[in-house]
Chains A and B, each alone.
Chain A
Amino acid sequence: MRLTAFQDGFSAALLGHAPLAPWVSALEAQPGFAVYRNTVLKGCIDALQASYPTVCQLVGEDWFRAAAAAHVCAQPPRDGLLMEYGAAFAGFLAGFAPAAGLPYLPAVARLDRCWTECHLAADATAVGRAWLARQAPATLPLARLRPHPAARWAWCDEHPAYALWRSHREGLALPGSLDWSGDGALLTRPHAQVTWHPLPRAGVAFLNACAKSQTLEAAATQALAADPAADFAALMGTLLDAGALIPTMPAQAKESP
């Protein structure tokens, strides 16, 4: 048999498709076939459980693994980097009927995904408050900063996803009087480990603008448009202390003829 034909038949059977040929049925009938099927499914589910620990804590391991199995069938991994697998899991949960009673679950899943991306992203040296102190007031508005490659941020309009996520990640009891309104999160990796901070709506708008290479003045305008009452100086302090920003290429490059 050609290797391609064998791999077409074997992989289809592993993924639970109806056998294409008698030789596939014969392999499936051997007790050893289940070892491969179980190993493949377990490998994918284990990867999702490792990447979505907060979701798993919220729903319990049995529920999580059943949901993960459904996701694996819908969107199996595309390559061997299982630590990156599951980018679409939050979207999957949003449409997963058994999760309908937990409407905040996709937003919590997105924060788990932010953690994974932050953990695996490239290294870079962030700018701190000293950078800000060195800037001339006249040119500061035209300066540009980029989000650190490891910085991730998210905003949830309907649910306190960050408060829920954080309390589970830190093993804290939920605040007794949890204000059930939207919130935002910033995840950064200023040194070796991933850290997290609350992020106001203005901060989300500011980072979105920086990610589009806008000037600090334009980014500040966006931030204040998102929340006219925002304390911009405090926000800059939060972002700089968290290591959320890095310098862009030297601005002079654009001005040279």
Chain B
Amino acid sequence: MALPTAGLGLKPQHYDEALRCTAPGLWWEVHPENYLADGGPRLAWLEAIRARHPVALHGVSLSLAADAPPDAAHLARLAALARRVEPVLVSEHLAWSTWRGQYLPDLLPFPRTHAALHRIAGNIARTQDVLQRPIAIENPTHYLHIDGHDWAETGFLAELVRRTGCGLLLDVNNVHVSANNLGFSAQAYLDAFPLHAVAEIHLAGHHADPVLGNALLIDSHDAPIAPAVWALYEQVIARTGPVPTLIERDDHLPAFSELLAERDQAHRALTAAQPEEAACG
């Protein structure tokens, strides 16, 4: 099996094409929440894909930034799925979504305080203990100015890496959208980002808020990747060398061939970013 280069989010609508696709370096990512079933066709699909390509699990509901430990039953089911699928990577978000027995399906922000750092490091460590493997933590998209941060996000993530041994998932579109919405420099953010810990990169499309326009960009995963995001991505991989890169498209799904063309663009960029010694082999 070729080393994973660029991958796609696995959509049930594209299942047959996904199964047949033999693009070099192709891999697939799924939200484990959609496969935490006791049995049935979904798990069978995932196992058939897994037999042909690497698969990564990208969780959205572990709520690691909640001021509470991750749900033990959910973690146990996630661990069972990971044993079954043997993913190349398990990732989650620097965000919260479950609070006092209610699930709020989004990736919610919080003040990055010293106490929050302590809590989240503990939650990541617990997750890694149960899964028996390091996980990667993704930088979230921001829409709000929040008071009371003790830490810049880049420093906060670097400290989580130092304390827990976790990796990072750098979502370049999230950086672009957040920089636009909060008025910081995406370039400066990426300069400060602990790139040494990046185990995976995400790319996705966004759109402008229908009322506020470009003043508020929304991380909607419903469009092709913007040129500005491609440009940031190429700068990142010029510094990191090739890092497995995933293209997320969750809404307004185009034909599979269109997604594959975007994936191929990332694949070519990664191949061009090969370090000298590897390219000579």
Contact = CB atoms under 8 A, between A and B. Distances in A.
Contacts, number: 135
B110 A120 contact: no
B115 A31 contact: no
Contacts of B104: 11, 14-15, 40, 76
B31 to A, nearest CB: 9
Interface size bracket, A side: 35 or more
A11 B101 CA distance: 11
B147 A119 contact: no
A10 B98 CA distance: 12
Contacts of A119: 37, 40-42
B102 A6 contact: no
A39 interface: yes
A195 to B, nearest CB: 12
A150 interface: yes
A189 B40 contact: yes
A78 B38 contact: no
A63 interface: no
Contact of B110 (A6, A32, A192): A6
A11 B100 contact: yes
Interface in A102-153: 119-124, 149-150
Nearest to B60: A80
A39 B106 contact: yes
Interface string A1-39: 111101110110011000000010001001111011001
B42 to A, nearest CB: 7
Contact of B40 (A3, A40, A77, A150): A150
Nearest to A43: B105
B110 A80 contact: no
Given A2-B67, A121-B38, A7 B106 contact: no
A80 B33 contact: yes
B36 interface: yes
A119 B12 CA distance: 14
Interface in B95-118: 96-106, 108, 110-111, 113, 115-116
A112 B66 CA distance: 33
Nearest to B71: A79
Given A27-B144, A32-B143, A79 B113 contact: no
Contacts of A79: 61, 71, 74, 98, 103
B216 interface: yes
Contact of B38 (A7, A23, A82, A149): A149
B132 to A, nearest CB: 21
A83 B37 contact: yes
Nearest to A46: B105
B40 A80 contact: no
Given A35-B218, A120-B40, A193-B41, A80 B119 contact: no
B227 interface: no
A3 B39 contact: no
B106 A2 contact: no
B144 A30 contact: yes
A44 interface: yes
A243 to B, nearest CB: 13
B191 interface: no
A2 B62 CA distance: 20
A121 B110 contact: no
A2 B40 contact: no
B13 interface: no
A80 B97 contact: yes
Nearest to A2: B115
30 contacts: A1-B111, A3-B66, A3-B67, A3-B110, A7-B66, A8-B100, A10-B108, A11-B102, A23-B147, A27-B146, A32-B216, A40-B104, A40-B106, A77-B105, A78-B102, A80-B60, A80-B63, A80-B97, A80-B98, A81-B61, A83-B34, A120-B38, A121-B38, A121-B40, A122-B38, A122-B39, A122-B40, A123-B39, A149-B38, A193-B41
Given A77-B105, A82-B33, A121-B38, 15 more contacts: A3-B67, A6-B111, A7-B96, A11-B102, A31-B212, A31-B215, A43-B106, A78-B102, A81-B36, A83-B37, A120-B40, A121-B39, A122-B38, A149-B39, A189-B40
Q: What 8 pairs across the A-B complex have the smallest Cβ distances? A: A80-B61, A32-B143, A43-B105, A123-B39, A3-B67, A122-B38, A120-B37, A122-B39
Interface of A: 1-4, 6-8, 10-11, 14-15, 23, 27, 30-33, 35-36, 39-40, 43-44, 47, 76-83, 119-124, 149-150, 189, 192-193
